[in-house]
Amino acid sequence: MPAGSDNPAPRHSLRRQLWWVIGLLLTVFAGSLGYTFWQLELRKHDYLILNLTGQLRVNQRLMLDQARHYLEQAPDDYDKYGRDLGLYWQDLQQQMGLAEQVVAALRERRLDPVLTGRDEAIQCTWDERSRSQMAHTANDWANFRSGLEVALGNDADGPRLTAAAAYIAAHGEDMAASVDRLALAFQLMMEGKLDLIRYFQIAAGVVAVLLLGLIAVAADRRVLRPLQETVIGFQRVARGALGHQLPAPADNEIGRMTAAFNALSSRLQALFRLTDRINQGTRLDQMLSFVLEEFRGFVPVDWVGVLFDETGRTMRIERMAGQPTPGLREGESLAATSNALATVARERRPLVIADLTAFGAAHEDADFARRLAAAGLGSALYLPLTGERSGFGVMVFAARARAAYSAEHAEFLGNIAGQVGHILEKTVVTEGLVVAAVEGLAKLAESRDPETGDHLLRMARYSAIVAEELGREAPYRERIDAAYVREVLRFAPMHDIGKVGIADGILLKPGRLDAAERSEMERHPAIGGEVLRRCEAQMNALGHSIFGIGIEIAECHHEKYDGSGYPAGLAGEAIPLSARIVAVADVFDALTSRRPYKEAWPVDKAFAMLDEQVGRHFDPAVIAAFRRALPRVMEVYERFRHV
C-alpha cells in the first residue's frame, strides 16, 4: 500500500527541494549583498586613501609654489623679509610634518584616527601596482626630505631658508610627479575594484537568472507536466479507461501522488474485472482463483480460503486456494463456538493477525490459526462475508510473511466484502443444487442396481485419494489440483448413471448374460455420458460448466489401458485420467465387498489381481499411486466396509 502522508519527507521530497532552492537563492542573494557591502566598505577606505593622497599632492605643490615665491622676494625691505622668513619657516615645518605623517601612514598601509577622524585605525589592502608605486614614492620622499634637511642645516636660530627654498624649487617638481604617480596608481586600483564589484554583480545576476531558469525547467518537468498528466489520467479514468497508468516520476510528492493514482486505477480495474470474472464463474474454486490472482497486486496473499457457518457451532472449510496447507482439507468442519472465526462472522468485523504462531499460542481455541502457522503461513486477515443470511461466512487471506496485513488492507477488502459475500452465497447455492442433483442421480442408478450398501461412498473416496496422490508427483503435479480431486470425488458415484437406461430384465438378471444382453449392458457408459451431456448443455445455456469430469467418468470407466475395453476401445493416455482412476477404485471396491454371488476378497488378494492387470486393464501410474496411498485407502475401507 502507498505510504501515508504522515511519513517523513524523503530525500527527493518537493518540499525539501523547494527549501533547498529557496535557501540557494537566498544564499546567492545574501552572498551578493554581503560581498557588495564589504567591497563598498573597502571603497570608503580607498576614498580616504585618495583623500590623503590628494592632500599630499596639494602639500607638495604648495611647498613648491611657496619656495618659488620666497626666492622671488626682494631682500631690500628687511622688515618685510624678516616677517616672511618667520612665516615661511612655520609653513615649511607644517608641510614637511604633514607629508611625513601621510607618507609614513601610506607606507605602513595603516591609517591612524588622527588622519581619518574615525574611532579606530584602518588597515588597507592594495594591489601590487599600488604597493610598488608606494615604495617608490616613499623612497623619493625620504631622499627629498634628507636633501631638504641638509639644506636647512642644524641652526635653529638661523635656518638657511633660502637654500631650502632653492632645494625645493630644484627637486620639488620630481617629488610632486612621484606623488602624482602614486595618486594615479591608487585611482586605477579603485577603478579596478569598482569594476570587480560590477562584474560580480553581473555574474550574480547571471547565476540568479540561470537558477531561475533551471527552477522553471525543473518545475515544468517534475511538477507541471506530471500534474497535467495526472489531470489527463483522471479524465481518462472518468471516461472508463480503468487501469490507465501514469509514468512514475521521481520519488517526491508528485511521484507518490502518481503512484497512488496508478494504484487506484489498477484497483478499480481489478475490482471491475474481478466482479466480471466472478459473475462469469461457474464454481466457487474458480472464484477463489480469480480473487487470488487479482488481489495479489494489492494485498500480500499466498493462501485464500472460504469457511461457511454450518450449524452455528461449526464452520466448514468450503474452498481454499494458493499455498498447500497439509493440515487443512476442504469439507472439514471446525468448532466455532467462541473462536476468532465465529467472532468475525458474527460481529462482521475484520481481524488482522500479525503473527499466527503467537496468536495460536495465546488463544486456546485458535486451532485454525495454529494449523495455518503449521503450514508455513505467518499472518492472516479474517474478512466477514455478508449475505442474506447474517454472518454466514469468513474469507481468510494468509501470507507467509509476518505482519503482512494492515488496517488499510482490512479497509480495502471490507469495501468489497458485501459484494463478494453475495456472489459467494449465490455460488454456494448453485453448487449445492448441483451436488444435490448429482447425489440424486447417483442414488437413482444405485437403486436400480443395488449391489451393496456404501459402494458409491467408498469408491468415490478411493478415487479422490488416488487422484490426490497422483498429483503429488510429476507428470500430474501441474494437472491435478484441489479442484480436480473435488470433482473426482463428486462425480465418481456417477460412473454407472447410464444403467438407468438398461432394461430391468437385463440389469437384474440373476444369471450370466448372453451376447446380446452383454452388448446391451455395455451401452450403459454411452447412455450415462449422453445423460450428463444433456445436463451439461442445459448448464452451458445458463453460462455454467459443471459436468465435464462426470461425463469422462461415465463414458470411459470401462475402457481398458490396452484398448480392449468398451464402449470406444480407447487405450493408454487416450482414456481420460479421471476414468482411469475410477476404474481402479471401482474394481478394488467390488473385489473387497461382499456380493450375493461372492464373498469379499482380502485386500492382499484384491491387490494381487490389480497387479495382474497392470498395463492391460489398469494404468500402471494409477496402480502405483493406489499402493502409495494404501494407508489412507484402508482407513476408508475399515470405516465403511461392507462384508
Q: What is d(CA 283, CA 318) in angstroms, rounded to the nearest whole number?
A: 12
User: Which DSSP state fits 352?
Assistant: E
Does residue 393 form part of some domain? Answer: yes
Same domain, 464 and 531: yes
DSSP secondary structure string for all residues of 1-22: -PPPTTSPP-TT-HHHHHHHHH
Which residue is it, cell 461466512?
A: 393
Per-state percent for the chain, helix, strand, coil, to nearest 5: 65, 5, 30
The mean pLDDT value for 330-343 works out to 74
Give the CATH number, domain containing residue 370.
3.30.450.40
pLDDT at position 378: 93
pLDDT digits (tens, 9 = 90+) for 193-245: 788 778 877 887 888 788 888 878 877 777 777 777 777 777 776 766 666 67
Q: Higher model confidence: residue 87 or residue 97?
A: 97
The contacts of residue 601 (CB under 8 Å, 6+ apart) are: 591, 592, 609
Residues 34 and 183 in one domain: yes
160-169 residue pLDDT tens: 778 888 888 8
Burial class (CB in 10 A: 0-12, 13-18, 19+), 592: buried
Q: How confident is the model at residue 502, as a pLDDT?
A: 82
Task: Identify whether 312 is part of a domain.
Answer: yes
The predicted pLDDT at position 617 comes to 95
Mean pLDDT: which of 376-390, 541-555, 569-583 is highest?
569-583
Euclidean distance between CA atoms 225 and 219, whole angstroms: 8
For 493, 587, 592, 625, the CA distances from 459, given in Å and listed in that order, are 7, 9, 11, 15
- Share the mean pLDDT of the chain: 80
Contacts of 547 (CB under 8 A, 6+ apart): 491, 532, 533, 535, 536, 539
CB atoms under 10 Å from CB of 172, counted, come to 22
Q: Are 398 and 373 in contact (CB under 8 A)?
A: no
Cell matching residue 33: 549583498
Give the Cα separation of 552 and 344 in Å (integer).
Answer: 41
Burial class (CB in 10 A: 0-12, 13-18, 19+), 421: buried
Residue 4 has pLDDT above 50, yes or no: no
As beta bridge partners, residue 111 has 122
Q: Which pLDDT does position 9 carry in this prediction?
A: 47
| Domain tally, the chain | 3
Tell me whether residue 254 is in a domain. no
How confident is residue 445, by pLDDT bands cut at 50, 70 and 90? low
Please indicate, yes or no, if residue 243 is contained in any of the structural domains.
Answer: no
- Residues 36 and 87 grouped into a single domain: yes
Q: Is the pLDDT of residue 99 over 60?
A: yes
Residue 141 maps to a domain = yes
- Which of 175, 193, 217 marks a domain boundary? 217
**Residue 282, pLDDT above cutoff 60:** no
- Select from 354, 315, 305, 361 the least CA-distant residue to 337: 315
Output the pLDDT for position 2.
42
Residues 403, 519 within the same domain:
no
Residues 414 and 455 in one domain: no
Across 57-205, where does the E strand assignment appear?
110-111, 122-123
Q: Are 467 and 484 in contact (CB under 8 A)?
A: yes
> Exposed (0-12), middle (13-18) or buried (19+): which is 488, by Cβ within 10 Å?
buried
43 shares a domain with 163? yes
Place of cell 517526491: 252
pLDDT of residue 254: 66
Q: So what's the pLDDT on residue 88?
A: 77
Phi-psi region at 194: left, alpha or beta (left = phi > 0; alpha = psi -120 to 50): alpha
Domain end marker among 159, 194, 217? 217
Q: Is the pLDDT of residue 390 over 50?
A: no
Q: Is the predicted pLDDT of residue 581 greater than 70, yes or no?
A: yes
Distance CA 4, CA 144 (A): 85
Residue 8 placed within a domain: no
Confirm if 169 and 67 have CB atoms less than 8 A apart.
yes
Give the DSSP letter string of 52-72.
HHHHHHHHHHHHHHHHHHHHH
Is 0.75 topped by the overall pTM? no
d(CA 45, CA 63): 27
Q: Are residues 69 and 184 in the same domain?
A: yes
Domain of residue 192: give its range.
14-217
Same domain, 207 and 69: yes
pLDDT band at 453 (very low <50, low <70, confident <90, very high): low
Residue 514 sits in a domain of what CATH number? 1.10.3210.10
- Spatial separation of the C-alpha atoms in residues 328 and 325, rounded to whole Å: 6
Q: Which three cell numbers stand for residue 5?
A: 502522508
pLDDT at 221: 74
**How confident is residue 574, by pLDDT bands cut at 50, 70 and 90?**
very high
487 lies in some domain:
yes
CATH of the domain at 193: 1.20.120
First to last CA, the chain: 61
Is residue 292 located within the same domain as residue 387? yes
Q: What percent of the chain has pLDDT over 90?
A: 21
How far is the C-alpha of 67 from the C-alpha of 170, rounded, in Å? 10
Regarding predicted confidence, which is higher, 66 or 247?
Answer: 66
195 shares its domain with 324:
no
Among 164, 196, 217, give the residue marking a domain's end.
Answer: 217
In a shared domain, residues 399 and 465 = no
Do 454 and 594 belong together in one domain? yes
User: Is residue 462 a part of any domain in this protein?
Assistant: yes
Per-residue pLDDT, 215: 79
CA distance 196 to 125: 15
Q: Per mean pLDDT, which range of 74-88, 198-212, 536-550, 623-637 is the poorest?
A: 74-88
Q: Which of 301-310, 436-445, 567-576 has the lowest mean pLDDT?
A: 436-445
